[in-house]
């Protein structure tokens, strides 16, 4: 048991003394199960990414998704970067996600703090006012008509504002705010600090974890949102964010504008780009930001996620 | 919570801390009003902070609720809510005699139950498996891999399934390559659709669902296991008598809360696959409302279906929470009531 401190990291993790060593068969079955589970998640992603880097010849050999690549090329991504539908949609999605997340976070943080002080006047009524919308809403059709009446049809704000507030997130964040540093907040209040100052200098710095997790929830929701585009922006394909482009050109297999006949790829210079490779590049791009941000927020998960996990 | 305010010396910290008031006298009433004003002045910035959220919810949450009156109208886009003719319950009479509606109702129940039975146990099994891994680093790695699909969009998940299981997809190509003439068309077959959506949900959400069970497992005191092992309990007995009872409360809670969302379940997932599979298997109540209301422009009819869905859902959710409370669990809104 006593090992030099420096070597402790390498040591195999310890089994509790009371736990019997599992048999080789159990160990084997467990390892097998884990490998299968990891493959089920990773394999589809792997083949999508491989295909997005593949040449038409390689795709022809595979007859569809490429598992063993024969020739790799960056052409699909070069085409996307050089402009056109996908490149534009990517930019639109990024801007929408950033703007939407910023708006949602400001509104959510303010409301959460505003409702988090015990005994403040009116906070119970406002909380109920908000929570009712969690259980009942007018449904799609009245919302569509209200947004249209406000002139939101084909407007980007219609993709942000109607879903900008998640009452669930407010409740989660409010619970955190109510529990942190209450005595500090109250004494700052007595010293005459305004609530704005308290929020900015005391509450926010001490609740980075929950802020990060909720920002991730919002960002993912904006990045992945698809139905509200279908609802509020169904026909103006020039304005579409990435999810809608993916739905139309990949899921539904419509022809991308400028590519001519279905089934014939686009050209970059005089090189033909495999349609499937381009489609899979679109899929890969929708996943990329998630994979990039995920590791940074993941460490906050165990704390922040538990309330979110119920949300599903 | 209220202890915080009463201890600070703010005389009007909370209504609980006020001295018993002699009701009725004018002076007392005036004092109460003054105190309320003082509190309101003290808290005005807190109230201002909630305003953006309140306004957004008012416009995009409550106004559409008022708009539901159109379910009792024959709504016309050009005359609006105010001047469209009233038709009473005609839309609902039509709804309840519409075979398409009942088909959607049956589909909703069938898809929901099959999906629940198949996908609900998976996160628990995953959590048990992961919890038995000793290496922390391996555990963290597996957890982050299986959680990732939760953050993918439904469109993306279905696209991936299509590339793998669909016509000309990986499986299809493989089976044809090995001499199968007519491989099963899993992405478009109405008969197997319920299993398809279950597989999609399992792939996307199991890892995420696992996290909460992992937390529940971590909360079981190790001394219980130790004592049981000292008393000679086998692995099987420990699992049966300690682990599973430890998971029971959260399992029951999640199951009940899940049931509350039975009727509104799977909107995007079904909508995306509706055209490929057909309404016979993939039309659910929420897509029925959308298809009739927005796609076919039959606004009032769609809104009537939406209102039916909304009201039945509220009843289901409240009932589910009631049951959860009766079983001694924190319901969905129990958390916020503190």
Chain B interface mutation, best of A138, A217, A287, A302, highest count of B Cβ atoms under 10 Å: A138
Whether the per-residue pLDDT at B83 is higher than 90: the answer is: no
Average pLDDT over residues B133-154: 91
**SS3 sequence, A176-217?**
HHHHCCHHHHHHHHHCCCCHHHHHHHHHHHHCHHHHHHHHHH
Within 294-313 of B, beta carbons closer than 8 Å to A belong to: 294, 299, 302-303, 306-307, 309-311, 313
Higher pLDDT, B4 or B200: B200
Q: Which pLDDT belongs to residue B292?
A: 95
Q: For tokens 């990060």, what's the residue? A: A212
Q: What is the pLDDT of residues B123-143, one digit of tens each?
A: 999 999 999 888 888 988 999
The three-class DSSP label of residue A272 is strand
Q: Give the whole-angstrom CA distance, residue A164 versus residue A103.
A: 7
Q: Which residues of A touch B50 (CB under 8 A)?
A: 110-111, 114-115, 123, 126
Whether the per-residue pLDDT at B157 is higher than 90: the answer is: yes
Q: What is the pLDDT of residues B70-81, one digit of tens each?
A: 999 988 888 887
Chain A interface mutation, best of B34, B84, B153, highest count of A Cβ atoms under 10 Å: B153
Q: Which residues of A touch B231 (CB under 8 A)?
A: none
Is 0.90 surpassed by the pTM of this model? no
Q: Give the whole-angstrom CA distance, residue A159 versus residue A97.
A: 10
Share of chain B above pLDDT 70, in %: 90
Point out the residue among A44, A141, A143 whose CB comes nearest to the CB of B164: A44
312 residues of chain A, pLDDT tens digit each: 444 444 445 555 677 777 778 888 888 999 999 999 999 999 999 999 999 998 888 888 887 888 888 878 888 888 888 877 888 999 999 999 999 999 999 999 999 999 998 878 888 999 999 999 988 888 899 999 999 999 999 999 999 999 999 999 999 899 888 877 677 888 888 888 888 999 999 889 888 888 988 999 899 999 999 999 999 999 888 899 999 999 988 888 776 554 433 334 455 555 677 888 888 999 999 999 988 888 887 777 666 555 544 443
Q: Give the whole-angstrom CA distance, residue B167 versus residue A64.
A: 10
Point out the residue among B2, B45, B80 whose CB comes nearest to the CB of A194: B45
Whether the per-residue pLDDT at B205 is higher than 50: the answer is: yes
A&B contacts, CB < 8 Å: 313
Point out the residue among A67, A178, A199 whose CB comes nearest to the CB of B1: A178
Q: Which pLDDT belongs to residue A162?
A: 96
Q: Give the whole-angstrom CA distance, residue A189 versus residue B43.
A: 11
Q: Give the whole-angstrom CA distance, residue A165 versus residue A110.
A: 11
Banded model confidence at residue B113, pLDDT cuts 50, 70, 90: very high
Contacting residues for A143 by C-beta, under 8 A, at least 6 apart? A137, A162, B60, B64, B67
Q: Give the whole-angstrom CA distance, residue B328 versus residue A32.
A: 39
Q: Which residues of B touch A108 (CB under 8 A)?
A: 53
DSSP at B86? B
Average per-residue pLDDT in chain B? 86
Q: For tokens 């959590």, what's the residue? A: B127
Q: Which residues of A touch B160 (CB under 8 A)?
A: 44-45, 48, 283
Chain B CA closest to residue A149: B80
Average pLDDT over residues B147-156: 94
Q: Which pLDDT belongs to residue B3?
A: 35
Identify whether the C-beta of residue B257 lies closer than 8 Å to the C-beta of residue A310: yes
Contacting residues for B295 by C-beta, under 8 A, at least 6 apart? none
Name the minimum distance, in Å, from the CA of B196 to any CA of chain A: 15
Q: Which residues of B touch A45 (CB under 8 A)?
A: 160
Q: Which residues of B touch A130 (CB under 8 A)?
A: 53-54, 57
Q: Which pLDDT belongs to residue A276?
A: 86
Q: What is the pLDDT of residues B271-330, one digit of tens each?
A: 999 999 999 999 999 999 999 999 999 999 999 999 999 999 999 988 988 888 887 665
Q: Which residues of B touch A65 (CB under 8 A)?
A: 163-164, 169-170
Residue B46 phi/psi, 5-degree rounding, is: -60, -40
Residue A23: Cβ-neighbour burial (10 angstroms; 0-12, 13-18, 19+): exposed
Q: Which pLDDT belongs to residue B24?
A: 60
Q: Which pLDDT belongs to residue B49?
A: 95
Q: Which residues of A touch B149 (CB under 8 A)?
A: 41
Q: Which pLDDT belongs to residue A284?
A: 94
Identify whether the C-beta of residue A52 lies closer than 8 Å to the C-beta of residue A77: yes
Rounded-to-10 torsion of CA A247, A253, A258, A261: -170
Structure tokens at A6: 């420096």
Within 84-123 of B, beta carbons closer than 8 Å to A belong to: none
Identify whether the C-beta of residue A243 lies closer than 8 Å to the C-beta of residue B153: yes
Rounded-to-10 torsion of CA A218, A222, A228, A232: 120
Q: What is the pLDDT of residues A241-293, one digit of tens each?
A: 999 999 988 888 776 554 433 334 455 555 677 888 888 999 999 999 988 88
Q: What is the pLDDT of residues A23-39, one digit of tens each?
A: 888 889 999 999 999 99
Within 185-244 of B, beta carbons closer than 8 Å to A belong to: 203, 205, 207-209, 211-212, 215, 222, 225-226, 229-230, 235
Q: Which pLDDT belongs to residue A181?
A: 65
Whether the per-residue pLDDT at B17 is higher than 80: the answer is: no
Identify whether the C-beta of residue B286 lies closer than 8 Å to the C-beta of residue B309: yes
Distance from chain centroid for Cα A159? 16
Q: Give the whole-angstrom CA distance, residue B147 versus residue B205.
A: 8
Chain B interface mutation, best of A25, A30, A121, highest count of B Cβ atoms under 10 Å: A121
Q: For tokens 């969009």, what's the residue? A: B153
């Amino acid at each position: 048991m006593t090992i030099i401190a420096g070597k402790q990291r390498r040591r195999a993790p310890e089994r509790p003394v009371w736990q019997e060593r599992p048999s080789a068969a159990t160990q084997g079955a467990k390892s097998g199960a884990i490998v299968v589970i990891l493959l089920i998640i990773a394999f589809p992603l792997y083949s999508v990414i491989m295909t997005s880097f593949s040449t038409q010849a390689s795709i022809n050999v595979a007859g569809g998704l490429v598992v063993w690549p024969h020739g790799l090329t960056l052409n699909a991504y070069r085409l996307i970067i050089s402009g056109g539908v996908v490149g534009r949609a990517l930019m639109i999605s990024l801007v929408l996600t950033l703007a939407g997340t910023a708006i949602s976070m400001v509104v959510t943080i303010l409301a959460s703090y505003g409702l988090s002080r015990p005994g403040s006047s009116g906070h119970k009524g406002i909380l109920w006012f908000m929570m009712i919308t969690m259980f009942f809403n007018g449904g799609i059709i009245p919302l569509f008509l209200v947004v249209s009446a406000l002139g939101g049809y084909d407007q980007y704000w219609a993709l942000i504002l109607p879903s900008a507030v998640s009452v669930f997130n407010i409740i989660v964040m409010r619970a955190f705010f109510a529990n942190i540093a209450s005595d500090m907040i109250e004494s700052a209040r007595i010293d005459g600090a305004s609530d704005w100052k308290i929020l900015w200098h005391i509450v926010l710095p001490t609740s980075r974890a929950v802020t990060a997790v909720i920002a991730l929830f919002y960002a993912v929701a904006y990045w992945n949102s698809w139905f509200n585009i279908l609802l509020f922006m169904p026909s103006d394909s020039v304005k579409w964010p990435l999810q809608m482009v993916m739905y139309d050109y990949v899921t539904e297999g419509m022809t991308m504008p400028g590519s001519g006949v279905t089934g014939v790829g686009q050209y970059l210079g005089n090189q033909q780009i495999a349609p499937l490779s381009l489609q899979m590049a679109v899929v890969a791009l929708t996943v990329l930001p998630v994979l990039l941000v995920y590791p940074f927020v993941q460490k906050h998960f165990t704390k922040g996620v538990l309330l979110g996990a119920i949300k599903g | 919570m209220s202890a915080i305010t009463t201890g600070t010396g703010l005389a009007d910290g909370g209504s609980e801390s006020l001295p018993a008031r002699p009701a009725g006298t004018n002076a007392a009433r005036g004092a109460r009003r003054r105190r309320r004003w003082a509190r309101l002045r003290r808290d005005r910035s807190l109230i201002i902070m909630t305003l953006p959220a309140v306004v957004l919810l008012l416009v995009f949450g409550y106004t559409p609720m008022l708009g539901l009156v159109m379910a009792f109208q024959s709504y016309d886009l050009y005359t609006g809510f105010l001047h469209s003719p009233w038709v009473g319950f005609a839309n609902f009479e039509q709804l309840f005699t519409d075979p398409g509606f009942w088909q959607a109702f049956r589909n909703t129940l069938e898809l929901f139950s099959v999906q629940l039975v198949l996908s609900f146990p998976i996160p628990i099994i995953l959590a048990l498996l992961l919890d038995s891994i000793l290496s922390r680093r391996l555990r963290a790695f597996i957890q982050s891999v299986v959680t990732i699909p939760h953050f993918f969009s439904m469109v993306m998940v279905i696209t991936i399934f299509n590339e793998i299981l669909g016509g000309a997809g990986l499986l299809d190509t493989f089976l044809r390559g090995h001499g199968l003439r007519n491989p099963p068309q899993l992405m478009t077959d109405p008969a197997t659709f319920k299993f398809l959506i279950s597989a999609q949900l399992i792939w996307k959400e199991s890892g995420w669902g696992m996290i909460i069970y992992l937390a529940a497992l971590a909360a079981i005191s190790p001394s219980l296991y130790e004592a049981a092992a000292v008393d000679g309990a086998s692995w099987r007995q420990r699992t049966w008598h300690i682990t599973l009872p430890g998971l029971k409360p959260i399992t029951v809670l999640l199951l009940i809360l899940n049931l509350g969302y039975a009727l509104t379940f799977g909107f995007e997932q079904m909508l995306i696959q509706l055209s490929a599979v057909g309404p016979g298997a993939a039309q659910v109540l929420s897509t029925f409302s959308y298809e009739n209301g927005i796609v076919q422009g039959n606004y009032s009819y769609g809104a009537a279906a939406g209102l039916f869905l909304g009201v039945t859902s509220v009843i289901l959710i409240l009932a589910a929470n009631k049951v959860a409370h009766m079983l001694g669990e924190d319901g969905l809104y129990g958390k916020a009531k503190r």
